[in-house]
Amino acid sequence: MPDLSYRSYEKELIDDFTLENDALRQNLEELALINTYLGGNQVTVSGLSQVLNTVSIRQPLQVGDIGCGGGDMLKVMARWFKKKQVNADFIGIDANDFMIDFAQKRTQDFYNISYLHENIFSESFQKHHFDIVTMTLFCHHFTDEQLIQLFSQLKTQTKYALVINDIHRHWLAYYAIAWITKLFLRSYLVKNDAKLSVWRAFRKNDLEKVVRKAGFQKFSIRWRWAFRWEVVLYCQ
């Protein structure tokens, strides 16, 4: 068993932008299944609900989804906001060309979803501004120092709040996802990266340290099933 007392910074296979398209496609499709059946997508929706119930917003909203992957969360959010009768446009942001192309094809029926191919640490990205920013299973790919830099930067780019959905680093989560992927999934990327993602993820004190160092004073960090953190950082 790995030492889960600390965050691993070992790179996941998915972090390699030179991966073959077929392998990436299978990875994204199987990750979508995991998030759907384990209820992970609802953590982001819960965070958004908290923002709408806490902050007086002006419509229409512009929501940026950083690390949008295959666009699954964008579809979930677009349907949820429509049900809530909130006028919103969504921008999927990713640095991977294949991810953007794959997501565009999967969300072509949604008129209010568009995409931005950008490195989030680039000067050009810093010129973009949003009302709400979401990040789902994205933050564990970065070191604490990178997250402090990113959160500080996004605080100036975002009007209302950042909504973060990421993994709780826990031994049960580690072994559960290892067995689920071994028994039920085929992607070699998922089989390798799923359990590594847990080791790269967070305990509550990890998140609190990063959030405070990034300059946020008003925030909430709540545990959600299955082994997820719902983090809302208020920018006002």
Give the residue among 121, 136, 139 at the shortest CA–CA distance from 72.
136
Q: Given a cut of 70, is residue 56 above it in pLDDT?
A: yes
Answer yes or no: is pLDDT of 5 > 90.
Answer: yes
Instruction: Give the DSSP H/E element, type plus range, for residue 52.
Output: helix 41-54
Q: How far apart are CA 69 and CA 87, in angstroms?
A: 23
Q: Does position 65 have pLDDT exceeding 70, yes or no?
A: yes
Would you say residue 23 has pLDDT above 90?
no
Q: What predicted TM-score, i.e. pTM, was given to this entire model?
A: 0.92
| C-alpha–C-alpha distance, residues 176 and 186, integer Å | 16
**Beta strand extents in the chain (DSSP E only):** 61-66, 88-94, 113-117, 130-136, 158-167, 219-224, 228-234
Task: Give the per-residue pLDDT at 19.
Answer: 60
Give the per-residue pLDDT at 38: 61
Per the CB < 8 A criterion, the answer to whether 173 and 200 are in contact is no
Whether residue 37 has pLDDT greater than 60: no
- What average pLDDT does this structure show over 34-51? 83
Query: What is the tens place of the pLDDT at every residue in 66-100?
Result: 999 889 999 999 999 999 999 999 999 999 888 89
**Cβ(210)–Cβ(223) under 8 Å?**
no
Instruction: Note the pLDDT of residue 31.
Output: 64
Q: Is the pLDDT of residue 124 over 90?
A: yes
pLDDT at 130: 98
Tokens of 128: 């973009």
Answer yes or no: is pLDDT of 34 > 90.
Answer: no
pLDDT at 22 over 90: no
Helix ranges, the chain (H): 21-37, 41-54, 72-83, 97-106, 144-157, 171-184, 188-200, 204-213
Q: Which residues contact 143 (CB under 8 A, 6 or more apart)?
A: 9
CB 23 within 8 A of CB 189: yes
Write down the architecture of domain 19-234 according to CATH: 3-Layer(aba) Sandwich (3.40)
pLDDT score of 74: 97
Query: Taking 70 as the threshold, does the pLDDT of residue 44 lie above it?
Result: yes
Domain ranges of the chain: 19-234
pLDDT digits (tens, 9 = 90+) for 100-120: 998 999 999 999 999 999 999
Distance CA 130, CA 9 (A): 29
Amino acid at 96: N
pLDDT tens readout for residues 142-186: 999 999 999 999 999 999 999 999 999 999 989 988 777 766 556
Higher pLDDT, 183 or 9: 9
pLDDT of residue 40: 77
